Structure 1
Amino acid sequence: MNQLTQAQLKSIAVDCCGRLLAAREGIELFNEPFRHVVIDNFFPDDFAKACLDAFPGIDAPVWEQANDPDIEVKFRTAWKSEFDIPDGILPAVRILNSAPFVLAMSQVMGIKKIIPDPYFTGGGLNVTMRGGLLDVHVDGNYHDATGLNRRLNALVYLNPNWQEEWGGEFGVYDAEGEVCLKKVAPLYNRLVIFDSHDKSFHGLPDPVNFPEDEPRRSIILYYYTVEARPASQIVVDEPHSALWKKRNLLDKRGSKTRNFT
């Protein structure tokens, strides 16, 4: 795919926003057990393929590995700014962090004054190899660099040959993280956005069965507000990291809260 002009990229962004704003209650947009939206064929075909083609191989030096066998076995990038993003993936990130898209997401998800994260703390590219997993958990709530409150996660899956026996579905759990109420397949070019709070339990706790040469791939970005989460979404008042079911709702250090700056 040739380099896009600003006008071309804006046109694609407008189309993506339209797809998001057209999400229908009970079909693409859901309120239970927490608000989430699932949009298929999100990017134009050639645009999505450019992202897949630019996705780094697992041998690239960009990956950090999480290897806690009971709760998290995966790879992710450690972007510090947009200058770390591969050229073929940067246009997608620009759209997902653009003002039109953030405003559309705000409208659909019912959260005002959302902003993206220019530091990409925890965000970027994710890879789960065969045997990898992500225990049921709720995400961290606080952004050290800005002091903002985590509110939304957005994912775009890039798995063109996915088959059901591969597993790796995004599991949506009840407010206690006990029962999986829904599984969302990690289909190619599928966008998922969901509320991030202390009761939005999610994960893929069963080891994935993807082929050795075709890992589970996704782009993941996070969004924040100055305003705190509603009281109904708060279990832990203080800043905390991800809290894991298999760790009795403690973080990787065995704590409920964490130090922050």
Structure 2
Amino acid sequence: MKNFPLLTGNDWEKAEDKDIEIKYRSNWSSEFDIPEGIINAVRIMNSSIFLRAMAEVMAIEKIIPDPYFKGGGLNVMTRGGLLDIHVDGNYHDATGLNRRLNALLYLNPQWSPSWGGEFGIYDENGDVCLKKIEPLFNRLVIFDSHDKSFHGIPNTINFPDSHPRRSILLYYYTKEERPASQIQVALPHSALWKKRNFLDKRGNKIRKKYE
């Protein structure tokens, strides 16, 4: 973990909405912002080999990575952090592509169950947790991203100050739209939060500029 940047630098954006999201994420704008020692992992996860494997496993063809890293990159939670139940945004501003997949690579070599921080996958209404996934070191989680794929870490975590909860999070897109069965909001939208009655942080169902 020696290559992971400290939270004291200018490499981070902090989300601090107390009831739904308390975490840090990297503010990369291109591959050139990625630290040495981490760049190779990102290149593998964005490589054609990885994309083809995901396409086969997830049955989604013509997957495209995000060279702009809009929301993707490093994610960190410190003690007291949380990510309430939500579905992700559906649209890539720079390209107009449709969000289809998320990939999480966990970087927590000394994780203990007493720390919490398990990633929850919920039913299509966000009511019932179907599975909790421990953030074990080198564990890769890939899941569909659509309007019914509720997920989150709704309970505050108890990670030690010396070992924050770390991961690489990357998003993947297709030109093809999502299947109709996965769409509840057809127009471009940001993350929609269960605790906010399926609205975004501004209280909107769709992004203002598309209304």
Could you say which TM-score interval applies, normalised by the shorter chain?
over 0.9
Say whether 1:223 aligns with 2:172: yes
Corresponding residue for residue 192 of structure 1: 141
Corresponding residue for residue 69 of structure 1: 18
Gap runs ≥5 in structure 1: 1-51
Corresponding residue for residue 84 of structure 1: 33
User: AA paired with 1:151?
Assistant: R
The answer on whether the counterparts of 1:239 and 1:259 sit within 8 Å (CA) in structure 2 is: no
Corresponding residue for residue 169 of structure 1: 118
**Cα distance in 2 for residues equivalent to 1:120 and 1:133:** 22
Corresponding residue for residue 105 of structure 2: 156
Say whether 1:118 aligns with 2:67: yes
**Cα distance in 2 for residues equivalent to 1:60 and 1:188:** 24
User: AA paired with 2:110?
Assistant: N
Say whether 1:57 aligns with 2:6: yes
Number of residue pairs aligned between Structure 1 and Structure 2 = 210
Percent identity over paired residues:
70
Secondary structure in structure 1 of the residue aligned to 2:53: helix
Secondary structure in structure 1 of the residue aligned to 2:43: helix
User: AA paired with 1:199?
Assistant: K
User: AA paired with 2:90?
Assistant: N
**Cα distance in 2 for residues equivalent to 1:110 and 1:260:** 32
**Cα distance in 1 for residues equivalent to 2:158 and 2:151:** 19
Cα RMSD, aligned residues only: 0.9
- TM-score norm. by structure 2 comes to 0.98
* Structure 1 residue corresponding to 2:96, chosen from 147, 150, 155: 147
Corresponding residue for residue 179 of structure 1: 128
Between Structure 1 and Structure 2, the one with more helix by share is 1
Runs (4 or more) in structure 1 with deviation over 6 Å come to: none
The answer on whether the counterparts of 1:144 and 1:260 sit within 8 Å (CA) in structure 2 is: no
